[in-house]
Chain A
Amino acid sequence: MYDMDRTKLYVYVWGILVAFTIIEVITLLAPLTHTVIIAAVITVASVKAIAVVSIYQHLKDEPNSVKMFPLTLLILLIVFLLLALLIAMPNMMVQ
């Protein structure tokens, strides 16, 4: 049934959000360089954000014309954020 499918999908997404949140925290413990950790954490956060936007805000069900605009903007902003963090990186950590 339509309703159940929906509910299931929403709960799956929730599961992913929870799992990815835990993954973000665990990433901190991994023996990786700061650059990699920053890139990884922001990427995971972005996946979560895109999941919320497309499923909970049901952007994926909207007509293309409506969908394109916020999604493009979101992805652009994420790219800027990553770039900004990675460029600013050398200054951000004192080692």
Chain B
Amino acid sequence: MSETFSLRRWLTTTNHKDVGILYLVTSFYFMFFAGFLAMNFRVQLFSPNQSLFTASAYNQVVTTHGLMMILWVLSPMGFAFANYIVPIQIGAKDMAFPRLNALSYWFYLFSGLLLVSSFFLPGGGADVGWTAYAPLSTTKYTPQVGMTVAAMALIMLVASITVSTVNFITTIARERARGMTWSKMPLFTWGILYTVIMMLFAFPPLGAGLLILLSDRILGTMFFTSNAGGALLWENFFWFFGHPEVYILLAPALGILFEIIPAFSRRPIYGRKFILGAFALASIISFLVWGHHMFATTETALVKKIFSATSVAISLPFEIVTIYLIATLLRGSIRLSTPMLFGLGAIYMFIIGGITGVFNASIALDYQFRGSYWVVGHFHFVMGGTVIFALLGALYYWFPKMTGRMYNEKLGKIHFFISAIGFTMIYFPMFFLFDMPRRIFTYPATAGWDFMNHIATIGGFIFGSIQLLLLANILLSLRRGPPAGFNPWGGWTLEWLIPSPPPAQDFEVSPKIEREEIVFPKGGSTEWEDVEESYTPWPLTITIGTTLGLLGVAMFLPLAILGLAVVLASLVGWFRDDFRGKFAAKAEGMGMWPFEKISHEKLGMWVFITAEMMLFSMVVSGYIYVRSNSAVWPSPLLVTNILAHLQGGIINVPGVGEIAIHNIVLGTVNTLVLVTSSLTMALALNAIKNGNVRGLKIWLLATLALGVTFMVIKGYEWAGLYSEGFTITSGLPAASYYLTVGLHGAHVIAGLIAIAFLITKAYKNGFTKESYTGIENTGLYWHMVDVIWLFLFPLFYLL
């Protein structure tokens, strides 16, 4: 099964290195696709009044280019290296959840394919810019189904990223080799850790925004078309995600620089602790600066000033990082090999990008910059320049490790110099184009922007075409490159202590750290697991089912039912693997401080719960936002004699008019039902902890029954509301109620499915006093669903 070209291997693998390679190849493919789009519109912009594209085609191309590069290229390429390298660097055998890792990959690939396919649908793809500003992105102004499919592709990507987040945090927290303390962890791994922590908080908000957008597009709600929500609601959602996102792209790149720069200057990194501290500070501040993308809106001056100050301040930690990277070079013995050249190039780009970022952060200057080519120049220097150059450096740096062969140094150097020149030629001229609006498909000859655009387009072709040299170098070296040996660069981290390419299991014996040295204990048991056991088709089939489901919801409902069936069948397969004990061998890692006392699954579940808490917080924030901007909002607090109206209904409030309030009695009953189901779930866990299987079955069944009761009451309630005309399209109060409570209901259903699996397993005696992780984790999830309801109940029924 481990032959290089076995299709079955690549479709069913869960090995972190295979998944890493899959990520790498896929992100490269998407990079060439999105890059090709970019070269096309550079032709269009070469001179005024060109007609290669119509405005609509241009907008689609620009949108797909932006979305693809940011979300399907830069981040996943960082994660290609993370998948391959991080488990090795920390001395783990694999990721904490290998199957989930494969699932992340397949979700990533298929979401990308969905995005590409949206392009070819009737009416075309998304043409609203990567920021998808509402209300332009709503059906009223962008009716084509391609936009819906693109939003679904994004949701699928959010799911992929959430799963990876859980996986990476658990892996890094718990799987490190014995003795590898936080302070000894390699810096690339640190970079990835920062990345996933930021992802954990940034992606659920995007998910929430997209859910609301899709609800507007598919269910006909009016969050983004009404003035109570509207443009500003979307912008707040989007940039609360969007700003951290740009640092999410940056963090793996900096992690790479922290490896490459010291390795090639032959000196330890300068000020490791300060760099890590600065990086942590920047990660935290990154959640406090989103307003700098909204300086031109109608936010109050005070808000703008605060965001301006935090944004300027964020340049301090980045400056420290930059200066310390340069300080690392001093008194070194610098090898200017290709990875190092790309590393230095990335720093050069980061200096320019960072300084122009400070320009943007000035509220006054941004009055002109916002929406102009200046911003395009800025973010390409940081994202295209810094991040891509660092990633290319990483590719050259780890190529020998991944393939066992050296690349051609001369071609690499040519690639670097021409790329650096080409890149600067594209984007530096844009700093002189701060009058030119971005995303225009053509410009008048009188504007005087021709010259700078000529240079940019020429640069674009230089940069674009030289990437073919990279491709040639890779293909050539894969065949003919001289053998690389274990450690061509003299690196100190674990990946350089094992063969290139590493064997399937990475280490014969788990390494450990003794004082300042990494050692492989001698004579330790060499337990090679059965490699055959680590292949599984379910991650792929779940993904296919999900893709069909999403396409179905967007275009053709029966397809969605097929998709759902595929997902459920695959889940059954997945759990049967579990039951057979497949993958069980991977279950327990070292458990490093401070996570030695908590199991894998439990830690993973807590991380996941955090993501869910963020998701619901954002949806609820959206609710509070539209509510506070609405002139009238039905509330029991407005009703003078509430006792008479505990059953809810349409009530005439003097001075306000007719309002609909919810049935407080039913809401209370349902709260009690859910709370009780939490009790029974807790008792189920307690029973099995004491070895009481009968008790376990009874309490699980009780939980299932209560959960079903909750949903039935909900259904009854909704039927009543609908018959009274309180439909999802009847206004924002109804829309926010159905969306939030419905999302919660979906979680209840997911929980019920999990509980049904548990019951089956319990009846097959699958749980014992010693092994009850499934119960414990489903319990954690179930209680979380309860906790969410504890807030939704007062927010929607009482206040």
Against A, the Cβ 8 Å flags (1 = close, 0 = not) of B769-799 are 0000000000110011011001101100011
Known contacts being A28-B637, A94-B632, is A18 close to B686, with CB within 8 Å?
no
Interface locus among B246-254, B383-391, B590-598, B707-715: B590-598
Does B336 count as interface, using CB distance less than 8 angstroms? no
Bound-state CA distance A27–B642 (Å) is 11
Task: List the one stretch of B83-91, B217-225, B518-526, B668-676 in contact with chain A.
Answer: B668-676
One of B395-403, B405-413, B436-444, B619-627 at the interface = B619-627
**Beta-carbon contact of A57 and B783 below 8 Å:** yes
- Number of B residues, CB within 8 Å of A: 56
Given contacts A24-B794, A28-B642, A45-B794, contact A52 B783 (CB under 8 A): yes
0 or 1 for each of B160-172: is its CB under 8 Å from A? (1 = yes): 0000000000000
Give the segment of B55-63, B95-103, B346-354, B602-610 that binds chain A. Answer: B602-610
Q: How far is the CB of B798 from chain A (nearest CB, A)?
A: 6
A55 to B786, CA, bound (A): 13
Task: Assess whether B621 is in contact with A94, with CB atoms less than 8 Å apart.
Answer: no
Q: A53-B783, A56-B681, A84-B621 given as contacts; is B790 within 8 A of A45 (CB)? A: yes
A52 touches which of B643, B668, B672, B678 (Cβ 8 Å): B678
Q: Which residue of B has the minimal Cβ distance to A17? A: B675
Residues of B contacting A81 with CB < 8 Å? Answer: 617, 620, 624, 791
Per the 8 Å Cβ criterion, residues 78-94 of A in contact with B are 80-81, 84-85, 87-88, 91-94
Tell me whether B628 and A10 are in contact (CB under 8 A).
Answer: no
CB distance from B453 to the nearest CB of A (A): 46
Inter-chain contacts of A87 with B (CB < 8 A): 628
Q: Does B629 contact A (CB under 8 A)?
A: yes
Instruction: Give Cα A88–Cα B228 distance, bound, in whole angstroms.
Output: 13
Q: Which residues of the other chain, B, contact A95 by a CB distance below 8 angstroms? A: 638, 655
Looking at the assembled complex, report how far the CB atom of A71 sits from the nearest CB atom of chain B, in whole angstroms.
Answer: 11
Contacts of B683 in A (CB 8 A): 7, 10
Question: Does B682 have its Cβ within 8 Å of any Cβ on chain A?
Answer: yes
| Docked-complex contact B628 and A91, CB < 8 angstroms | yes
Assess the B794–A66 pair: CB atoms within 8 A.
no
| CB <8 Å contact, A70 and B790 | no
User: How distant is A42 from chain B, measured CB to nearest CB, in Å?
Assistant: 6
**1/0 contact string of B679-693 vs chain A (CB within 8 Å):** 101110010001000
What residues on B are CB-neighbors of A3 within 8 Å? Answer: 686, 690
Q: How far is the CB of B556 from chain A (nearest CB, A)?
A: 39
* CB proximity of B772 to chain A, nearest CB, Å: 13
Asked if B344 is an interface residue, CB under 8 A from chain A, the answer is: no
B686 touches A10 (CB 8 A): yes
CA distance A81 to B169 in the complex (A): 27
* B642-673 interface (Cβ within 8 A of A): 642-643, 655-656, 664, 668, 671-672
Contact call A41/B597, Cβ cutoff below 8 A? no
Contact B794–A41 (Cβ < 8 Å): yes
A21 x B671 contact (CB < 8 A): yes
Which of A18, A21, A66, A88 is within 8 Å of B628, CB to CB? Answer: A88
Q: Could you say which residues of chain B place their CB within 8 Å of the CB of A27? A: 798
Interface residue from B613, B633, B637 paired with A37 (Cβ < 8 Å): B637
B786 to chain A: closest residue by CB: A52
Measured between beta carbons, the chain A residues less than 8 angstroms from B78 are: none
* Residue of A28, A56, A91 with highest tally of chain B CB at under 10 A: A56
Contact with B along A3-41 (1 / 0, CB 8 A): 100110011011001100110110111000010011001
Choose among B613, B637, B679, B799 the residue that contacts A73 (Cβ–Cβ < 8 A). Answer: B613
Which residue in chain B gives the minimum CB-CB distance to A22?
B668
A29 touches B642 (CB 8 A): yes
Q: A49, B603: Cβ atoms under 8 Å? A: no
CB atoms of B798 and A24 under 8 A apart: yes
Query: Which of A13, A85, A91 sits near B629, CB closer than 8 Å?
Result: A91
Which of A53, A63, A66 interacts with B787 by CB under 8 Å? Answer: A53
Name the distance in Å between B665's Cβ and chain A's nearest Cβ: 9
Kindly state the separation between the CA atoms of A28 and B790 in the bound complex, as whole angstroms.
16
Question: Which residue of A has the minimal Cβ distance to B781?
Answer: A57
- Chain A residues with CB below 8 A from B678, complex form: 14, 17, 52, 56
User: Which residue in A18, A28, A52, A70 is a CB contact (below 8 Å) of B610?
Assistant: A70
Find out whether the CB atom of B787 lies under 8 angstroms from the CB atom of A49. Answer: yes
Q: A50 to B244, alpha carbons, bound, how many Å?
A: 29
Please tell me if A60 contacts chain B, counting CB pairs below 8 Å: no
Question: Which of A52, A74, A80: most chain B Cβ within 10 A?
Answer: A52
The answer, yes or no, to whether B636 is at the interface (CB within 8 Å) is yes
| Docked complex Cα distance between A80 and B638 (Å) | 24
Inter-chain contacts of B610 with A (CB < 8 A): 69-70, 73
Q: A1 — nearest CB in chain B belongs to which residue?
A: B690
Residues of chain A lying within 8 A (CB to CB) of residue B632: 94
Are B597 and A62 interface neighbours, CB within 8 A?
A: yes
Given A11-B679, A49-B791, A93-B637, A25–B668 Cβ distance below 8 Å? yes
User: Within 8 Å CB of B628, what residues of A?
Assistant: 87-88, 91-92
A63 touches B597 (CB 8 A): yes
Contacts of B791 in A (CB 8 A): 42, 45, 49, 81
A38 to chain B, nearest CB (A): 6
CA distance A1 to B676 in the complex (A): 23
Cβ distance A79 to chain B, nearest Cβ, rounded Å = 12
Does any Cβ of A come within 8 Å of B117's Cβ? no
Q: Which residues of B contact A70 (CB under 8 A)?
A: 606, 609-610, 613
User: Could you tell me the distance in whole angstroms from the C-beta of B108 to the nearest C-beta in chain A?
Assistant: 27
B635 at the binding interface (Cβ < 8 Å): yes
A81 to B686: give the CA distance in the assembly, Å.
33
A49 to B794, CA, bound (A): 12
Q: Are B686 and A14 in contact (CB under 8 A)?
A: no
Given contacts A7-B686, A66-B594, contact A28 B638 (CB under 8 A): no
Given the complex, which residues of A lie within 8 Å of B656, measured CB to CB? 94
How many whole Å from B608's CB to the nearest CB in chain A?
A: 11
Q: Contact: B609 with A25, CB < 8 Å?
A: no
**Known contacts A24-B794, A66-B603; is-contact A57 B597 (Cβ 8 Å):** no
Give the chain B neighbours of A49 by CB distance below 8 A: 787, 790-791
Q: Pick the most buried of A14, A34, A74: most chain B CB atoms within 10 A of its CB.
A: A14
Residues of chain A with a CB closer than 8 A to B621's CB = 84
Q: Is there contact, CB below 8 Å, between A94 and B595? A: no
Q: Which residues of B have CB within 8 Å of A34?
A: 637
Say if the beta carbon of B631 comes within 8 Å of chain A. Answer: yes
Complex Cα distance, B643 from A28, in Å, reads 9
A29-B627 in contact (CB<8A) = no
> How far, in angstroms, from A73 to B627 measured CA to CA in the complex?
24
Residues of B within 8 Å of A53, CB to CB, are 783, 787
Sample of 13 more A-B contacts, CB < 8 Å, known A57-B784, A70-B610:
A10-B679, A17-B675, A22-B668, A56-B681, A73-B610, A77-B613, A81-B624, A84-B621, A87-B628, A91-B629, A93-B638, A94-B633, A94-B638
Taking Cβ atoms with an 8 Å cutoff, the residues of B that contact A are 593-598, 603, 606, 609-610, 613, 617, 620-621, 624-625, 627-633, 635-638, 642-643, 655-656, 664, 668, 671-672, 675-676, 678-679, 681-683, 686, 690, 779-780, 783-784, 786-787, 790-791, 793-794, 798-799
Closest 3 pairs between A and B when the two form their complex, measured CB to CB: A65-B594, A88-B628, A14-B679
Measured CB to CB, the residues of A under 8 A from B are: 2-3, 6-7, 10-11, 13-14, 17-18, 21-22, 24-25, 27-29, 34, 37-38, 41-42, 45, 48-49, 52-53, 55-57, 62-66, 69-70, 73-74, 77, 80-81, 84-85, 87-88, 91-95
Pull 21 A–B residue pairs with CB atoms less than 8 Å apart, ordered by A: A21-B671, A21-B675, A22-B668, A28-B636, A28-B637, A28-B642, A28-B798, A29-B643, A42-B794, A45-B794, A49-B791, A52-B787, A53-B783, A53-B787, A56-B786, A57-B779, A62-B598, A77-B617, A80-B617, A84-B624, A93-B633
